[in-house]
Chain A
């Protein structure tokens, strides 16, 4: 007993039709930024590497110290982790003499969640533990929903969500832009304590305008830089010489944009920020999923119908023998 050529052709035809039906699902475009989105502007050229932000972040998020030295006298994290949500890393080249110079220089970079406009972690999470706030755009984490599968850890293109491997009852840790402080009229602790305004908090659209203003400054000229919260002007501003910025706002276009914008004089790739396409990986992945499983599972259900029909015929054949 074997499948006849005609049956095979019929099957192939049906399969082709199903595939065509499935692929007619619409492509999932990049998500767009909420109009009231909140974020940070980090200006590497203003950062002096004092790590006040690292310390303040620990305090307000109630995170334990982490040691990278033998004395273990104070908190010395070298990277974000299950115990640390924010660090300042340093780039060094040659004799490290000149600040913000790619050659024989050094530069700082803040490492913390970029609050993507279209986050991979939110798309990846199977249980809605990672969420994007529809108003503020803050990418939040709910440990009570989380199953600890760590798909977010693996998926994040910036390596941001971290996991507590040393705990029996672990959770994911990531910066949530101090959303727990908003109700008290406070904002991100890293921006609040930054002495130079290198980390500035506010609405993303205003941060974007500020970033563009800085790019237009003449290098070497004295300029005024706001500190703290760009919308409430809660702190006095800071005057410094404008650096020789690269003509790029990191986070403006990367994967459809992030709510953390970054400026630098040293190429971002040297500072550990990857070169990324404009289309978000979440959009690519979800387009694929919706093509296969969209329209109320149209494709799998149609395939199940064909399989049921074929199986019924063949099982009946079995019984007759």
Chain B
């Protein structure tokens, strides 16, 4: 990422690393580690509520499926800046990429906790074992590749810090290809996270089982990516007492609005064509959750449709939260609420199970705080001029 468009160069934020916030986050990480120790000694069942009817709990559905979607900020902004050539969003690339880097790396690490026979993990990458017809194979390969690509995409921040200008220059020559890979790989695996469900057949409720699941998962991952960028910009501006880049966020929300409208249209057409429209009016937990999901997608569409609200930080923040929640519920619905393997099976995550997921989130936030204070990530000091320059 070369500095460009007269944006201020990214600079380390500085400031203290040991604060009440970072101490709390570290404590949450420590709790998760203790629980994981129990899991590795006594088995997954000792700390989670997963069972043969719901063999994938929140360690898969939240940590990986939702976690990686929430980590799409870097992907969405990179698409906008480098593929659609919207250079004005350039200052958002590094902070978004950092959050993505953490989200994805931890999703990748989180998989290990959930794998029953984790010591065989390398089999996925080994020609004698790899099974390319499996959607899981595609997801695993592609997420792993993207984690590597993202570290490369992000490495200029480290190289600047350690004064390796010559390496950075060489890397910059190849950057266009790394960026292209960084745009392709998430498109592949974010869609595949939806494709995973297709083989489940009748076990996924008709409100969610569709051959268009890959497209729905991809489109919502991109919109979630934009929403997360807005969400993080709002939080980091209040947390680090920095001015908000409203002119960019407002425009970004307009892009989000367009994607959202197309998604909702496709979603409804698909339900009609598959004859599933009736199930949304039945009295069932599935129908209720479907309406909550759709409501959360429609609300930001309404909120963002007025230009005035797109310039209002609090409204923008609410719309972003709705969209993140919508993507969250869509994934929970299709993997858990709408997933039924037969009578007698129930699943709700156990407290230790939830604590591990919380520990992962804590680790992400902790890492983000440490790195933005230490590395050149957020736009440099003259950014206050930008904030007022509408």
Contacts and interface: CB of A to CB of B under 8 A. Distances in A.
Interface in A66-121: 81, 120
B348 interface: no
Given A285-B195, A312-B176, A315-B176, A147 B123 contact: yes
B202 A126 contact: no
A314 to B, nearest CB: 5
Nearest to B48: A165
B175 interface: yes
Nearest to A309: B180
B55 A150 contact: yes
Contact of B198 (A145, A167, A281, A321): A281
A274 interface: yes
A157 B179 contact: no
**Which one of B114, B120, B134, B188 has the greatest number of beta carbons of chain A within 10 Å?**
B134
**Which one of B123, B135, B195 has the greatest number of beta carbons of chain A within 10 Å?**
B135
B176 A162 contact: no
A210 interface: no
Nearest to B341: A159
Nearest to A286: B133
A310 interface: yes
Nearest to A276: B202
A121 to B, nearest CB: 9
Interface residues of B, number: 72
Contacts of A166: 42-43, 45-46
Q: Name the prevailing secondary structure of the B interface residues.
A: helix
Q: Which of the four size classes fits the interface of chain A?
A: 35 or more
Interface in A192-223: none
B138 A293 contact: yes
B271 to A, nearest CB: 18
A126 B175 contact: no
A145 B134 contact: no
A25 interface: no
B199 interface: yes
Interface in A295-321: 300, 303-304, 307-308, 310-319, 321
Contact of B214 (A150, A159, A163, A288): A288
B35 interface: no
Contacts of A235: none
Given A166-B45, A292-B214, A159 B198 contact: no
B390 interface: no
B281 interface: no
Contact of A126 (B124, B195, B203): B124
Contacts of A159: 52-53, 341-342
B229 interface: no
A171 B117 contact: yes
Contacts of B183: 307, 311
Interface string A162-202: 11111111111000000000000000000000000000000
12 contacts: A1-B88, A124-B134, A124-B136, A129-B129, A145-B129, A151-B136, A154-B339, A165-B44, A165-B48, A284-B198, A310-B85, A315-B176
Q: Which 9 A-B pairs have the closest CB atoms?
A: A148-B116, A165-B45, A148-B117, A281-B201, A285-B199, A307-B180, A126-B137, A308-B180, A312-B176
